[in-house]
Structure 1
Amino acid sequence: MEKPFELAYTELKKGCFPEELSFRTTAEIKPLEGVIGQERAVKAFDFGLAVKMKGYNIYMAGPSGTGKTTYARNSTEKLAQTEPVPYDWCYVYNFQNPRSPLALCFEPGQGKQFKEDMAELVQLFKTELQKAFRAEDYETQKNTLEHSFDEKRDALMAEMSAVAEQYSFQVKTTNAGVFFMPVVEGKAVGEDEYDDLSEDVKNKIEKNSQMVQEKAGSIMRELRDMDKESKRQTDQLDYKTGMFAIGHHVNAVQEKYQEYERVISYINAVQEDVLENISQFVEEEEDGEDSLASLLPMLGKKPAEDVTLKYKVNLIVDHSDSKGAPIVVTFNPTYNNLVGEVEYDSEFGNLTTDFMKIKGGLFHKANGGYLLVQAQDILSTPQAWEALRRVMKTREINMDSIREQLGAVVAPTLKPEPIPANIKVIMIGSSYYYELLNEYDEEFDKFFKIRADFDYEMPRTDENIRKIAQFIKRFVDREGCMEFDVSAVCAIVEYSSRTAERQDKLSTRFNHLAEILCEAVTWAKLEGAELVTAAHIQKTIYEKEQRMKLYEEKLDEMLEENVIMIDTEGAEIGQINGLAVLDMGNYAFGNPSRITATTYVGKSGIVNIEKEARLSGQTHDKGVQIITGFLGQTYAQNFPLSLSCRVCFEQNYNGIDGDSASSTELYCILSSLAELPIRQDLAVTGSVNQKGEIQAIGGVTHKIEGFFDLCRKRGLTGTQGVIIPVSNVKDLVLKDEVVQAVKDGLFHIYPISKIDEGIELLMGLSAGKKNKTGNFPANSVHGRVMKKLKAFDKRAQGEEE
């Protein structure tokens, strides 16, 4: 049996040394521009920004803290500054359909000017119309017109009186109209007196009444026609006078906005409405207020400005001060925030609204530019995704009330005219949300044709190390804090590599690095230092771990007190030390656990006790089935397996998943079958396949450190160590105390690629190789296992016979 290969201390981590860098402090370097290590994502994102066609919105996928939002905002801002400023938008009164306000667009800045021009025009309406209709010339024309019709009316009334008198009737005029009263003996007879008349007199009156009605009917028609003509000519005079007073002012505004056809039509509608309602502008001022109205102002007349409300302009998008295309970043994308809303007032218990209550949303602000949203925010807010997809699909902003959509409309609603939308949406989130949307929205890939994937790691190159130093410099400049010396930069690089859990990689989760930088600056200030050094970085990491390792300390106490039973010395049959990682969110640590196996004659095969107790995950169940495949491939080519086996993670009450313990469980089963003890000063991790090859696992650094910490507390013997897959060697970024222990020969790390290598390390006996007849050497581990399995088979067959 050959001496096992173990790793040298230089292979346990990849250090970063000050002499490898070309500066002494960050004061000597320039701050970082852009993002680090995301070439693929940057290329996809920049291409997505360049495509201006429908559907080329961008989804930025990747873990949090990789700089997606920061890069998206900075990169988009640079491009937006070179793009044209979009239109201004406003809503105005619709004289044809007041419930559907009209949307008008203007070149940037002209919307605000139009609002001011219309306000000024309405003021001119007030003053000019008051002046024109109080002028002596207008009064003269109106009086002449009224006098002319009065003379004609008097003549017709005299003619009617003569006809009435001829038949003994008298003409009476009231507000209700003209009627005839009978005259008897020179006296007009009223209703009460009429009943006292004789039947002959009544009959005569009835006969004369019919004659009067027939002869006076034509005169009545002439009176009605004359009244209509009087009103028509009076209205014509008012229209002519009003047009003369305001027409040139209206023409001046129309000429200013002559390139906007819809604006010209709107101003014409305003003019016609004003001329049709001149009385609103020229009412006589009251000498005094009504006493009740003065006591209860709410019952009085509406304020004068209400008369001109429908001539106002509601400017909802104003780009008068904008430079370039707009960029809107939101973390609260509620339906009303996105689409806008129509507000309501309560008057005497009733809800009222008008077009001036329309408030624009984020879609309006971002129209013609870019909208940055978080996928989680969109999906966790009711109706937000529906609002976003509707705008992307229809390319218009339709301000439907959410209450209307939910069928909860209890007040008069407005239906503002939709506004054309040209918005590039940049959604930022994890790959999980991308897959979720892609699964449940069949049109999602039509809306987001560009996916920019941000990686959680990047190659550990000299260029990327230099960029990390520049990232630190950018942090220093942004926060206005003290500089970092070269040793601190090296410590950050090593921490980044440890976070990535690879010697040849660096983490791209820069929010984690920024946390370390912030806290390191604070520790340096508390010590009165002028520069942040590696000692401050190390203290920061240590203190950060101490704040989060309460659960780990509780477990350590139970291990020290042997409440959780783990042996770190000696050897035992059917017992082995496995390694797991407990992830607490922002903090993970390794945790050793005892695995045991018992074997006996039977047909049940390998039974996973965790599965029977419903504490096993699917991947762990798969690992147990792989072990069965290995046993059948290795030993049961000439006879069936007559084996019952129970495998258990002792003192596990919270469940377990993953196949990283499958090789560990296999060693334990083989030990029980071969009746050979396993070294307890070694812990094992690694996945095994059906061919007996050891496969890579995750969290190898934390697993080694977890067993090392336990051994160190009990006292390092010089024989303790961990067996890991050889394919995990590049993943080792161990703490300095582990590296030192390996350097001093007090701890050992053995990389293996085959199950046989682990067998020899753990049991101190050759694993054995199968000969041409399919047997193993009798004194090898495999030979002992096969001998036991054959004995189980014979015993099982004997019991059957």
Structure 2
Amino acid sequence: MPIVRLAAESLSVDIDPEALCFTDTANLVDQPLSWIGQERARQAAYFGLNMRQPDYNLFVLGAAGSGRSSLLKQAMTEVAANMPVPPDLCFIHNFDTPECPLAIRLPAGQGSVLQQALDHFISNVCREIPEYLNGEATRQESERINQKFRQEEAKAYAQLCAFAEKLNFVIRRESGRLILILLDKHSGKVLSEDEILQLPAAKRAAIEQDEAVLYQEIARYLEKTHPLEYKREEALTTLQQIKIQPMLAQSMAVILDSLHSSFSDRTKVEQFLHGITKNVLDNLAIFLPSENEDEKSPSALKEILACYQVNLAVDNRHLRGAPVLIEEHPSFKSLIGGIKHRVVEGMLVSNFTGIRAGSLLKAHEGFLMLYLDDLFANEQLWEKISTLLRSHSLLIEAPSATATGMPMVSIEPEMVAVQVKIVLIGSREQYYAIQEEDPELARRFRVKVDFSASFMANLQTYHALSIFIASLCQVSRLPHFSATAVVNVLTNCHREAEDQKRLTANFSRTETLVMESAAQCMARGSSLVEAADISSALQARFLRHAYPLECALEAIVDGDVVIDVTGEAIGQINGLSLVEMGDLTFGLPIRITAHAFAGEEGLLNIEREVGLSGPVHDKGVFILQNLLCALFHHNAPLAFNASIVFEQQYHGIEGDSASCAELYAFLSALSGLPLRQGIAVTGAINQFGEILPVGGINEKIEGFYRVCAAIGLDGNQGVLIPERNRRHLILAREVIDAVQQGVFHIYSAEQMSDGLEMLTGMPSGLMSDARLNEILVYEPHTVLGLAQKTLRNFRAACQQPTQAKPDNKRTHERAGK
């Protein structure tokens, strides 16, 4: 196919405003938003969200700004609205093992019912127990028990006193102690210590013997009366428990009746209420006012009552479907949960009331959206998520004592079963890295939701994007867009996708353009955004970021960077480079030069030798070498020394888009034919001489046009691009106008031979049906014929006998190796 000069009409897309079937976007505000161009992702998302089986978590792939987060949130909310409300989660005291609190799930709303019922029970029990136990009936029964045991104790005491009297002793009680008093046998008078000492030794020995006997009797008395005291206390306690038991049973029955009759953890609740009942009956004394407050700890009752409470960790009573949570800033505490501690006597302590639930527990039987970058930033959190996905259960752990720096008495809550569908937002690279490096984790994400970077352009997608613009205007209270303004936005979407047949799926950029265009409209005091506002917004944004480009242009115009855009030169051509700076991407011409001499070292890539060439560029040069061998293989062995360099480039070269220009510069150096400097060339090349498409084609063309316009357009300048890049052209209006006026030109070619003829003005010498694996004979007055003649001369020169000299062949290693 011969070289083609492209008409101005083919340099962008032509969208008819009337085909949109509306005058402005205000006509579209009542139409629903759709998954624009993402039907595959939509089907995958709803499939995954509706799957109830485990391991059908969603991994969402796509670039930031593609709407992946907002669309998945919309889908999660929609699906969750038709799902049942999950149960509440409560933590309760474990009466058997207090350091291991229990977890119970109750139907939604029942957690707060149980919590309030127990709070009401606590306030009632503190009031009613003293009333019951201090009632007249209880007092009378208690008095009868006391009287009974007092009588038995009095009888035993009387027997003891009678026994003591026989031995001339009297027993008195003082402050709970028994005191022995010795009496004179004849007078009955109390003997003092001095009088006892004056008695004969035999008499004193007899008294001491009687005293020992009496002590034995006192011991038997105490052995007899102490069990009576225990029996009395036991009888009183039993009486109190009998009195309180019906009240507690009735209270527990009321609490159980307030709950649903059937749920999975009802048995646990019944056991918990039974534990409360038993604990109350075992500690009735604490509920009674003490006559001696010093003997009673002021916090004892508070600690007992705390065990009867319910820690409502997850309360779903206000939900109208399954929960939908989005963790924008996940931490271990916010995602997993934690245990709150308090300082007691220099030590951290906690109980079940300090347990806090994180998003994973709150999202039980619902949806939780996470961002993979956030999880990768916290290795401990990522490991916890991986464990959850594998075991479907979660353990809330307290921080270690080393982490807190204080001694700790913590708790170990019961592990909680969790059924949550995780929607993980990540990149395509992260997805395939996990597939390869961690297949065990990868199988937990069985649903791949793949958002494409672009989609086909047609009237349906144009209409959907118009509805998107209308929705933005409605929500953000912006002026609406006319049909011609929408056409300009759609054209920019084509440019973002670099394709006349496709539109970009980066809706955040579209949203930015809509807002900035609306600002231009409001600045001129209009209520309707027109096409000129879109152009003004794009120009204003470009000017805000274009300082590096202006500096580069000034360097070229001032001659600091040498670029020729007129005349001809041998072994010299203008290639096109793409400069990407994050917020700014632009194209610039770059001078490529080549030299060729007789020798045996072949083609030298100077950028590679000094370490400024990337692997893709190196690959392009190797392909170029093989193409040269194919073109001149009938002249083998080839004998030449050649070098190719990108002039005034000091920051590295990557990509193969200049390989076609490198080939032209080298063939010019071999043939001695000059190349047109007003034509810049971009395009990759394969081993068969076909010109392949490259990226950034619009920025490259516009970059060379700016240089030519700054230096001066003479009507002969232009750009040669691959034919396969034609559908990627969405050029700026000023470039299209220049082409329309004939002062700038854009050419396309499929074969390198076509471009060679245009640049040199001579036949290439390669027939269109020629096969490079055949022996080719080029006509003498063609580019390849002249190059062939030069190569033969080089070989002849190398075959002449020369004086032996040291071998100083250069190696092909990079600098620094």
TM-score, normalised with respect to structure 1: 0.93
Q: 2:278 is matched with which residue?
A: 272
Unaligned runs of 5+ in 1: 291-298
Distance change in 2, residues 1:179/1:544 (3 Å): farther
Provide, for residues 61-104 of structure 1, a one-character-per-residue CA deviation record: whole Å limited to 9, x for no partner.
01111111111111121111111111011111111111121222
Q: 2:651 is matched with which residue?
A: 654
Q: 2:11 is matched with which residue?
A: 12
Structure 1 residue 372, shift from structure 2 partner: 1.2
- Structure 2 distance, partners of 1:193, 1:538, is 129
Task: Report SS of the residue matched to 2:481.
Answer: coil
Among residues 751, 754, 760, which one is paired with 1:754 in the alignment? 751
Structure 1 residue 183, shift from structure 2 partner: 8.6
Provide, for residues 176-211 of structure 1, a one-character-per-residue CA deviation record: whole Å limited to 9, x for no partner.
976979999987899x99999999788767765664
Distance change in 2, residues 1:738/1:113 (3 Å): same
Q: 1:403, 1:409 within 8 Å by CA — same for their partners in 2? A: no
Distance change in 2, residues 1:193/1:743 (3 Å): farther
Q: 2:161, 2:171 within 8 Å by CA — same for their partners in 1? A: yes
**Structure-to-structure mapping, 1:68-87, within 5 angstroms:** 68-87=68-87
Provide, for residues 681-738 of structure 1, a one-character-per-residue CA deviation record: whole Å limited to 9, x for no partner.
0111111112211111111111111001111111111111111111111111111111
Which letter maps to 2:5? E
- Structure 2 distance, partners of 1:181, 1:465, is 117
Q: 1:768, 1:777 within 8 Å by CA — same for their partners in 2? A: yes
Among residues 267, 272, 287, which one is paired with 1:261 in the alignment? 267
Structure 1 residue 152, shift from structure 2 partner: 1.5
Q: 1:55, 1:392 within 8 Å by CA — same for their partners in 2? A: yes
Q: 1:163, 1:216 within 8 Å by CA — same for their partners in 2? A: no
Q: 2:113, 2:258 within 8 Å by CA — same for their partners in 1? A: no
Structure 1 residue 481, shift from structure 2 partner: 2.2
Structure 1 residue 106, shift from structure 2 partner: 1.4
Q: 1:133 is matched with which residue?
A: 133
Q: 2:431 is matched with which residue?
A: 434
Q: 2:109 is matched with which residue?
A: 109
Which letter maps to 1:277? N
Distance change in 2, residues 1:436/1:305 (3 Å): same
- Structure 2 distance, partners of 1:488, 1:200, is 133
Which letter maps to 2:4? F
Q: 1:666 is matched with which residue?
A: 663
Q: 1:94 is matched with which residue?
A: 94
**Further displaced range: 385-394 or 791-800:** 791-800
Distance change in 2, residues 1:716/1:188 (3 Å): farther
Structure 1 residue 159, shift from structure 2 partner: 2.9
- Structure 1 distance, partners of 2:445, 2:763, is 59
Distance change in 2, residues 1:482/1:204 (3 Å): same
Q: 1:333, 1:381 within 8 Å by CA — same for their partners in 2? A: no
Structure 1 residue 402, shift from structure 2 partner: 4.7
Q: 2:811 is matched with which residue?
A: none
**Structure-to-structure mapping, 1:695-710, within 5 angstroms:** 695-710=692-707
Residue 796 in structure 1 maps to residue 798 in structure 2: yes
**Structure-to-structure mapping, 1:124-523, within 5 angstroms:** 124-163=124-163, 211-212=213-214, 215-257=217-259, 258-259=261-262, 260-284=266-290, 301-302=298-299, 305-403=302-400, 410-523=407-520
Q: 1:67 is matched with which residue?
A: 67
Task: Report SS of the residue matched to 1:443.
Answer: helix
Which letter maps to 2:695? G
Which letter maps to 2:89? W
Distance change in 2, residues 1:630/1:277 (3 Å): same
Among residues 569, 573, 580, which one is paired with 1:572 in the alignment? 569
Task: Report SS of the residue matched to 2:708.
Answer: helix
Task: Report SS of the residue matched to 2:742.
Answer: coil
Q: 2:123 is matched with which residue?
A: 123
Provide, for residues 421-459 of structure 1, a one-character-per-residue CA deviation record: whole Å limited to 9, x for no partner.
111111112212223333443322221000010011011
Q: 1:294 is matched with which residue?
A: none
Structure 1 residue 494, shift from structure 2 partner: 0.4
Q: 1:183, 1:189 within 8 Å by CA — same for their partners in 2? A: no
Q: 2:590 is matched with which residue?
A: 593
Which letter maps to 2:245? M
Provide, for residues 528-584 of structure 1, a one-character-per-residue CA deviation record: whole Å limited to 9, x for no partner.
102011111111111011111111111111111111111101111111111111112
- Structure 2 distance, partners of 1:197, 1:581, is 128
- Structure 2 distance, partners of 1:414, 1:59, is 35
- Structure 2 distance, partners of 1:196, 1:694, is 139
Which letter maps to 2:231? E
- Structure 2 distance, partners of 1:139, 1:758, is 117
Residue 40 in structure 1 maps to residue 46 in structure 2: no
- What is the aligned residue count? 790
TM-score, normalised with respect to structure 2: 0.91
Residue 554 in structure 1 maps to residue 551 in structure 2: yes
Structure 1 residue 219, shift from structure 2 partner: 3.5
Distance change in 2, residues 1:220/1:595 (3 Å): same
Q: 2:500, 2:729 within 8 Å by CA — same for their partners in 1? A: yes
- Structure 2 distance, partners of 1:515, 1:189, is 111
Q: 1:31, 1:473 within 8 Å by CA — same for their partners in 2? A: no
Distance change in 2, residues 1:653/1:546 (3 Å): same
Unaligned runs of 5+ in 2: 804-817
- Structure 2 distance, partners of 1:562, 1:197, is 139
Task: Report SS of the residue matched to 1:311.
Answer: coil
Which letter maps to 1:266? F
- Structure 2 distance, partners of 1:94, 1:38, is 52
- Structure 2 distance, partners of 1:800, 1:161, is 145
Among residues 602, 619, 627, which one is paired with 2:624 in the alignment? 627
Which letter maps to 2:383? E
Distance change in 2, residues 1:407/1:451 (3 Å): farther
Q: 2:375, 2:382 within 8 Å by CA — same for their partners in 1? A: yes
Provide, for residues 13-46 of structure 1, a one-character-per-residue CA deviation record: whole Å limited to 9, x for no partner.
1122323321111122244422100011111111
Q: 2:784 is matched with which residue?
A: 782
**Further displaced range: 771-780 or 424-433:** 771-780
- Structure 2 distance, partners of 1:188, 1:34, is 113
Task: Report SS of the residue matched to 1:785.
Answer: helix
Q: 1:295 is matched with which residue?
A: none
- Structure 1 distance, partners of 2:539, 2:196, is 116
Structure 1 residue 231, shift from structure 2 partner: 1.9
- Structure 1 distance, partners of 2:482, 2:699, is 29
Distance change in 2, residues 1:198/1:706 (3 Å): farther
Provide, for residues 298-319 of structure 1, a one-character-per-residue CA deviation record: whole Å limited to 9, x for no partner.
x993496554211111111112
**Further displaced range: 667-676 or 375-384:** 375-384
Structure 1 residue 659, shift from structure 2 partner: 0.8
Distance change in 2, residues 1:646/1:142 (3 Å): same
Q: Which runs of 4+ in 1 moved over 6 A?
A: 172-190, 192-206, 404-409
Task: Report SS of the residue matched to 2:419.
Answer: coil
- Structure 1 distance, partners of 2:737, 2:685, is 30
**Further displaced range: 215-224 or 499-508:** 215-224
The sequence identity of aligned pairs, in percent, is 29
Structure 1 residue 274, shift from structure 2 partner: 0.8
Structure 1 residue 743, shift from structure 2 partner: 1.6
**Further displaced range: 173-182 or 230-239:** 173-182
Distance change in 2, residues 1:376/1:167 (3 Å): same
Structure 1 residue 234, shift from structure 2 partner: 1.5
**Further displaced range: 507-516 or 16-25:** 16-25
- Structure 2 distance, partners of 1:274, 1:354, is 19
